[in-house]
Amino acid sequence: MSINWFPGHMAKARREVEENLKKVDVVIEILDARIPNSSHNPMMDEITKHKPRVVVLNKVDMADPKATDRWLSKFKSEGKYPVALDGRHNQIIKKIEPLAVKATAEDFNRMEEKGIRRRAIRAMIIGIPNVGKSTVINNIARKKGAKTGNTPGVTKQQQWIKAGQQMELLDTPGILWPKFEDEATGKKLALTGAIKDTVVPLDEVAIFGMQHLLEWDPERFNAFYNISASQDDDIVTVFDAIGKSRGMKSSGNEINYEAVTNRVIHDIRNGKIGRYTFDKVDAQ
């Protein structure tokens, strides 16, 4: 689903999130493990204020494992409670719940000291579109296909879902907008499917992806498309090689660049070529 984020939508989304935040003890922020920085809404820290934060690096099956380890360490060092997982798997609650318990331990201990009886930990999920919020919620709720209001402005009665042994989760996620701070961020968001509409020209997205994959691991890229390209090649040569190898030609026997563009984006987006992380920890 594509959402056009106009300032009015952003203000409304923010208000909705802030309203829901009052009801919870802990925030579960879902990020795409391939772009932990680009899939993070920069206003998140301001909006969530001092709520403890569990950070889920979702889609870990498509991210570079070494980079994921670095991101986990970084988030830990910032006092967050991170975990990397594949939101489609059952049992993810067993990974998330212990972190929510740890994240809220101090607050709950303080309440107990004041004589307030222990209750379930209340949590809500927040993230930009397409990072896997509904997948995670549905998985925890074990209601496959359960509808979650995914559009800001679509209000529905909220419910608490029992999540694990001592947690309750709001069944509607908080949806924040993606950031477009710079061109590279926009391209990474498009490359991973966080934005599917053509906010960024697709040929530029494909070129950005091809250049990175050729830089990081030319052998894998070449083997996948059965070509022999290098990062020093003119990018049109690479398009030509893929088009030729995959038989993507239009009527005049010309390479169909649009088809190559769409194919490369599809392959990267769906992790077909390999596991890549486009945001590097050191580059932050």
Q: Are 138 and 145 spatial neighbours (Cβ–Cβ below 8 Å)?
A: yes
Question: In this complex, which beta carbon is closest to ligand GDP, that of residue 163 or of residue 238?
Answer: 163
- Alpha-carbon distance of 123 to 78, in angstroms, equals 20
Q: Convert residues 140-159 into a mask of x (bound to ligand GDP by CB under 6 A) and - (unbound).
A: ----------x---------
Q: Applying CB under 6 A, does 62 fall inside the site for ligand GDP?
A: yes
Q: Applying CB under 6 A, does 132 fall inside the site for ligand GDP?
A: yes
Crossing angle between the packed helical segments 218-225 and 235-245, to the nearest 10 degrees: 40
Interface pick for ligand GDP out of 38, 39, 41, 58 (rule CB under 6 A): 58
Q: How far is the CB of 110 from ligand GDP (least distance, A)?
A: 33
Instruction: Name 133's Cβ contacts closer than 8 Å, sequence gap at least 6.
Output: 30, 125, 126, 127, 148, 150, 173, 175
Question: In this complex, which beta carbon is closest to ligand GDP, that of residue 83 or of residue 227?
Answer: 83
In the range 207-266, which residues lie near ligand GDP by CB under 6 A? Answer: none
Q: Convert residues 17-56 into a mask of x (bound to ligand GDP by CB under 6 A) and - (unbound).
A: ----------------------------------------
Instruction: Name 57's Cβ contacts closer than 8 Å, sequence gap at least 6.
Output: 31, 32, 33, 36, 63, 68, 71, 72, 82, 83, 84, 85
Q: How far is the CB of 148 from ligand GDP (least distance, A)?
A: 7
Q: Which residue's structure tokens are 């952003």?
A: 10
Strand 167-170 and strand 160-163: the pairing is antiparallel
Contact set with ligand GDP (CB under 6 A): 58-59, 61-62, 86-88, 127, 129-135, 150
